[in-house]
Structure 1
Amino acid sequence: MNDEKHLMIIKKYKNQIIAKWIREFIHSYPEYNRKVLKKDADVFYKFMSDLHIPAAEHSTFLAIPESQKLFLMRNVSISHVVHSGQLWIDAILWFIQENPRGKTIPMSLTRKIIARVSLYERHFLHQYNTVTKELLSGQEKTITELHEARLTIIGKMAASMAHEIRNPLTAILGFLKILRNQISIQNYQKINSYLDTIESELLSIQMQIAGFLSFSKKDTIEERFDEVSSTSIIDNVLALISPRLVNDNIELIFQQGEDIKLEVQKIAIQQVLSNILNNSLDALSEKEGEKSLMIASRLEEDEFLIIISNNGPEIPPEIKDSLFIPFVTNKKDGTGLGLAICKQIMTKNNGDVTFDSSPNETSFRLSFKQR
């Protein structure tokens, strides 16, 4: 009997041999699905028994790269693949030894089948090693890129914090110099007001730090909500920017509306107002000719509004839709965290901040829902 007739016997008893392989495989790895194993086994059995087709030209052998992807998708361990090959050899030998028809299979044919299984296994393992090396290389590259991105974000956060606390620190130093001078000439009447300003600025720095920490999801000490005067919030911030208005020759137009009681975090809202006003002053510093800053407050239905407008350059169209997203900015020395924190603070205080910008005017609108 030639090899072709012996192969017919092996093909005839295919289901018995596959059943043997599945039983042994499930015994070792009970988590696998029998239907999936049966489908895979049918494909591999065809490869084993198609000896008339050279192994390297067989469709199953050529499909190894695709099988790799499937195995990785299923998260199959490489040890299972190795064990599977050994179980195929055991199943073939079991049939030859235990089945009367199998005992007629010559050893030369048995060796060809075993060699074919071993060749498939070696090539599969070689390809698996290549693919995993590529994946590891890709993962290392991704980790490196994430690490570099994280360092960049940390750098931006640090730069932004320095930028945001520079103004209140400058104000504190200025008032301390004035305070020292007033003490030396025994002019005590204004000392309390200077101390109040210093305290306010230190609280502002505390809130700036709390704002930055909120982006990292760290627990921070929350400022309590108090009922405060809308006029006092605006006046306090205007007092701090007055030197810049004078130095940069900027006309201030203040349309003060009704004094409204707001239940908000006072220092945090002052931080928002200060940030937007300083951004407006920064924008006006780029403008030639007349510079004007307008602040208006008014009550509209169930909202109290503070509107800050300037006649500086238009906000670039490419960043308008993402202006409140962290790290989006068009400032040379900006970091793009200020407005993102402002948005977060306003949301927390039952309000919102929006803007509109044209070549003639840019306006930011702070809205507070009235309870």
Structure 2
Amino acid sequence: MVDVETLSSKQMNQVIDHLRSQHAGIVKEWLDHALIKKEDPFYKEVAKNGSSTLDLLYQYIENPDIALIKSLTKKIALERIEAKTDISEFVYNINIGRQIVNEKALNPLFRPEEQKWIILMINQFFDHLLYYAIKEFSSLNDVIIENKNQFIQEMHSDRLTILGQIAASFAHEFRNPLTAIKGFIYLLESELVPNDKTDHYISIINDEMENLQDKISQFLLLSKMKGLDDLIAVFDLTACMHEMIDFMYPRFLEAKINLMVEISSDLKVEGDKNQLKQVILNILNNAVEELCDLPEERVIKVKAYRSSGMVKLKISNNGSQIPAHLLENIFEPFITTKELGTGLGLSVCKQIVEKHNGQILVDSNASYTTFTINIPEAVERTSL
């Protein structure tokens, strides 16, 4: 390797003079071969940047200092970002400049050692230029992506807030009339002469009313999680799970589902018992609905245990795999795999679990879809 010191100041000046004599030609050829469109907002600046790059090269030959290179790359990278240039074009344009300068630097008047030194210095310069240009370009691009993601998240948050307000308004507007309707149904029921037909009709009406009230409750939970702070207590999740399984058992039998249960005893958690029961019931109910049309054996697995200070609950079913495009957003409002589903159930489940400092996850493959709920195990309090 030829060291910089092997050339005298006179030799360096000769190299620089030789390059300066071709300065305009290099810039023109560089611009002709670069991937720059005429409508580029910085088209005129590109020629200036090429000229500034060559001026820096001359300075670098005399005194290799990367500080000036960094300054230029900040300007170039910012312009390329604003022009929405692809990074591959950015790299290509710099390397085209390197190639042209190397070709123009060749001169039979220079001795072999001088020629070797010139090529070495040119490539060192362009290596630094390329490195800092890409670094600055990537850094600016990362900031833009981060700002866009933040904007999207803020927009999403704003929309969910508006959705919550609409949901609360909707729920309250419907709850009062439903309460009145239920009261009058009760009065009618007491006035009618009992018979099989009227009893059947009244039963259907009451079931549908309960269904409507459940949907309204979901809207209220989605909007503001009403009452959670007032109902906090340490309770046995094991008992809650068995209670919900017993409640759902007639549906398991009706749908001919093979239920596999493995629940550890005395799983204590702190929170709202009724809301966590709702989460368990919602996921079990979803599993049953998913399996109803399955022609082969229908299986639901329920497993609960403690691990590293957490109570882990897993509910699996062997129904159809959730498509990948839905899996990512399955807990978002109005995302559902059901034809007539509202897409609120899992969103409410997620909010309830997170309010309990927990986490709900889903994994789906060709064999099983598994919902996993992790909730901190309650710390036993000892009285002094």
Which of these two proteins has the greater Rg computed from alpha carbons? Answer: 1
TM over 0.5: no
TM-score normalised over the length of structure 2: 0.42
